[in-house]
């Protein structure tokens, strides 16, 4: 499938990339950032919101490093999954990274790309031919959402694997742009809309993800539902952090991906201080079933995905509290 | 889709207005080629350089038929811009001794174990397994299965592919005990 023509920019430093983006923005030219290309290029091949200019970041080496308290936005997902520091300090980040797509795609894909992944939908991720026959949707070329028919909000599904555990760990994102640098907590970054997705100026570039130090007693894990054990995006994913003290819940953090247009952080589900037992595991499950909403726009029926979200929450609670 | 690609007959023509010159190092040889900014590496390899061992499967980053090594790592060449591959070391199946007297142990084991039936996916698998065996001397069957989980084969059922990789790994260990990587399952 041939890509639509575009002008390609290949900066080698962050400064050069920002300068290019600022200039394009000033000139009123629409452009896309491209890190690994594994999300942008299939969408471009399907003629999904392709722009006339692309800034490819493959030569910006300064953003690939993995440090003591941060991960560069252009660190390759496979490098993160196999990095010994990540495996020991943030094992669930390594696990979530290892569950992303397939090895050759993890060799291309980046942490920043996975975090800012475009939302996915049965009516969106299709060829132009398919979309032309069915009718275009709100997210590309149409004016009505084909999942929840209205003209305001896109309900495409957020499908990144890293976001839930990064929400649990309360990371901060550092952006660089023409106005300098800014840091945003991931928990307040996303905005509920499958098109807008988050608050970020077009010429701002995600440069690093800062992971705060957490209590070593906080145990974390991530479970993912997908159609095959490889290649596929999550159609439900739950990350949990749990610290117990004296048989009660001292710190509980739950986040979900693959359900709605953004990854959602549910905090402690109102279960702080609860006794660590089967009844609380049931309460985790019930609280998730209360909160999770799924739409019919990715593989598996919404009811099944939601039920699995509840099951994952229950299992994670039992596993992490040692009650399994 | 492939018809459209073939009809794009001026790919590689330096006189085509949007073509830019680029230098690609493929299988140890530097080629100067002309391609538009949006040219995909897979298209340049096949249509301009004539390296048709790399197959176009899904063209969307799912099947692994187009895998090549870039700086030693298996990636899907249908999702790499040719201009982004400049300055990197690209190896295709043609550069991995897939035929002749110097046939690589992987290709040899593939033939002996019946790792290919229709053969369309084979170059992608062998490229992927090159990366695996370059990093791990004795991968377990589970580890091999994980490594090839981005390659799709509709004929073999994968068992014979796993057999072939195990056999090749064993032969490489026997042939080069000193230079083989010391650890198995290690990080890169």
pLDDT of residue B53: 96
Q: Which of B66, B95, B124 is the last residue of a domain?
A: B95
Nearest to B149 among A56, A79, A102 (CB): A102
Q: What digits encode the pLDDT tens for the residues A222-279?
A: 999 999 999 999 999 999 999 999 999 999 999 999 999 999 999 999 999 999 999 9
Whether the CB of A5 is below 8 Å from some CB of chain B: the reply is yes
Strand duo A205-210 + A70-72: pairing: antiparallel
Q: Are residues B57 and B110 in the same domain?
A: no
Nearest to B149 among A8, A107, A230 (CB): A230
| CA-derived radius of gyration, chain A | 20
- State how many domains chain B has: 2
At residue B177, does pLDDT exceed 80?
A: no
CA B119 distance to own-chain centroid: 13
Query: In chain A, which residues have their Cβ closer than 8 Å to the Cβ of B76?
Result: 38, 104-105, 108
Q: What digits encode the pLDDT tens for the residues B54-66?
A: 999 999 999 999 9
Inside any domain, residue B83: yes
Q: Which of B75, B95, B115 is the last residue of a domain?
A: B95
B29 exposure class (CB count in 10 Å sphere: 0-12, 13-18, 19+): exposed
Q: Are residues B56 and B80 in the same domain?
A: yes
Best of A107, A232, A233 to substitute, by most chain B Cβ atoms within 10 angstroms, is A107
Please give the ipTM for the structure prediction: 0.94
Task: Tell me which residue of A43, A44, A54 sits closest to A156, measured CA to CA.
Answer: A43
Backbone angles phi, psi at B92, to 5 degrees: -105, 175
Read off the DSSP letter of residue B138.
Answer: S
Q: Are residues B14 and B85 in the same domain?
A: yes
- Interface contact A8-B81, CB threshold 8 A: yes
Q: How far apart are CA A296 and CA A103, in angstroms?
A: 29
Which tokens in the block code for residue B118?
């229709």
Q: What digits encode the pLDDT tens for the residues A17-49?
A: 999 999 999 999 999 999 999 999 999 999 999
What CATH number is given to the structural domain containing B56?
3.10.20.30
Q: Are residues B91 and B109 in the same domain?
A: no
In the CATH scheme, what architecture does the domain A62-116+172-210 have?
2-Layer Sandwich (3.30)
Which tokens in the block code for residue A97?
């990274």
Tokens 């091999």 label which residue? B144
At residue A170, does pLDDT exceed 70?
A: yes
Query: In chain A, which residues have their Cβ closer than 8 Å to the Cβ of B66?
Result: none
Inside any domain, residue B41: yes
The parent domain of residue B141 ranges over 105-175
pLDDT of residue B184: 45
Full DSSP string of A18-61: HHHHHHHHHTT--EEEESS-TTHHHHHHTTSS--SEEEE-TT-G
Query: In chain A, which residues have their Cβ closer than 8 Å to the Cβ of B64?
Result: 102, 104
Inside any domain, residue B131: yes
pLDDT above 90 covers a percentage of chain B that reads 78
Q: How far apart are CA A55 and CA B83, in angstroms?
A: 12
pLDDT above 90 covers a percentage of chain A that reads 98
Task: Tell me which residue of A140, A136, A116, A288 sits closest to A191, measured CA to CA.
Answer: A116
Query: In chain A, which residues have their Cβ closer than 8 Å to the Cβ of B151?
Result: 102, 104
Q: Are residues B69 and B115 in the same domain?
A: no
Q: How far apart are CA A274 and CA A277, in angstroms?
A: 9
Backbone angles phi, psi at B58, to 5 degrees: -75, -25
Residue ranges of the domains in chain A?
62-116+172-210, 219-321
CATH of A219-321, one of 3.40.50.720, 2.40.50.180, 3.30.390.50, 3.40.50.10490: 3.30.390.50
Q: Which of B95, B118, B143 is the last residue of a domain?
A: B95
Q: How far apart are CA B126 and CA B134, in angstroms?
A: 12
Q: What digits encode the pLDDT tens for the residues A62-81?
A: 999 999 999 999 999 999 99
Task: Tell me which residue of A98, A31, A17 sits closest to A60, measured CA to CA.
Answer: A17
Angle at A160 between CA A153 and CA A199, to 5 degrees: 50
Q: How far is A9 from chain B (nearest CA, A)?
A: 9
What CATH number is given to the structural domain containing B141?
1.10.150.120
């Amino acid at each position: 499938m041939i890509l639509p023509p575009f002008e390609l920019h290949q900066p080698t430093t962050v400064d050069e990339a920002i300068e290019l983006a600022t200039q394009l923005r000033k000139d009123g030219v629409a452009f896309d950032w491209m890190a690994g290309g594994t999300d942008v290029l299939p969408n471009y091949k399907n003629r999904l919101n392709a722009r006339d200019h692309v800034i490819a970041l493959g030569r910006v080496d300064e953003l690939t490093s993995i440090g003591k308290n941060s991960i560069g936005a252009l660190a390759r997902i496979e490098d993160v999954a196999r990095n010994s520091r990540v495996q020991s300090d943030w094992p669930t980040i390594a696990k979530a990274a290892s569950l992303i797509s397939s090895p050759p795609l993890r060799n291309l894909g980046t942490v920043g790309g996975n975090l800012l992944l475009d939302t996915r939908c049965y009516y969106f991720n299709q060829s132009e031919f398919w979309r032309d026959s069915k009718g275009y949707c709100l997210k590309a070329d149409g004016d009505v959402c084909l999942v929840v028919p209205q003209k305001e909000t896109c309900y495409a599904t957020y499908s990144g694997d890293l976001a839930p555990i990064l929400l649990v760990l309360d990371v901060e994102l550092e952006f660089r742009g023409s106005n300098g640098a800014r840091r945003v907590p991931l928990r307040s970054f996303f905005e509920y809309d499958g098109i807008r997705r988050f608050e970020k100026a077009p010429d701002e570039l995600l440069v690093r993800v800062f992971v705060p130090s957490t209590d070593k007693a906080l145990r974390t894990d991530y479970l993912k539902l997908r159609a095959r054990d490889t290649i596929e995006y999550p159609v439900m994913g739950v990350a949990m952090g749990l610290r117990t003290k004296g048989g009660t819940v001292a710190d509980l953090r739950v986040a979900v991906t693959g359900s709605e247009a953004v990854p959602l952080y549910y905090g402690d589900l109102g279960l702080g201080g609860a006794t660590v037992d089967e009844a609380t595991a049931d309460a985790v499950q019930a609280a998730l079933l209360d909160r999770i909403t799924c739409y019919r726009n990715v593989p598996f029926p919404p009811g099944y995905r939601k039920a699995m979200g509840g099951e994952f929450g229950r299992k994670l609670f039992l596993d992490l509290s040692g009650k399994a | 889709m492939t018809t459209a690609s073939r009809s794009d007959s001026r790919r590689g023509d330096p006189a085509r207005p949007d073509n830019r010159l680029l230098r690609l190092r493929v299988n140890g040889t530097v080629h100067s080629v002309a391609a538009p900014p949006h040219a995909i590496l897979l298209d340049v390899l096949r249509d301009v350089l004539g390296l048709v061992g790399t197959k176009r499967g899904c063209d969307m980053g799912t099947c692994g038929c187009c895998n090549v090594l870039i700086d030693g790592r298996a990636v899907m060449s249908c999702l790499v811009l040719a201009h982004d591959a400049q300055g990197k070391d690209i190896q295709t199946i043609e550069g991995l001794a897939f035929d002749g007297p110097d046939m690589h142990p992987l290709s040899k084991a593939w033939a002996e174990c019946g790792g290919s039936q229709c053969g369309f996916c084979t170059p992608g698998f062998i490229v992927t397994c090159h990366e695996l065996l370059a990093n791990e001397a004795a991968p377990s069957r589970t580890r091999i299965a994980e490594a090839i989980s981005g390659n799709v084969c509709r004929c073999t059922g994968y068992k014979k592919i796993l057999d072939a990789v195990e056999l090749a790994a064993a032969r490489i260990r026997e042939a080069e005990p000193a230079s083989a990587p010391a650890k198995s399952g290690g990080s890169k």
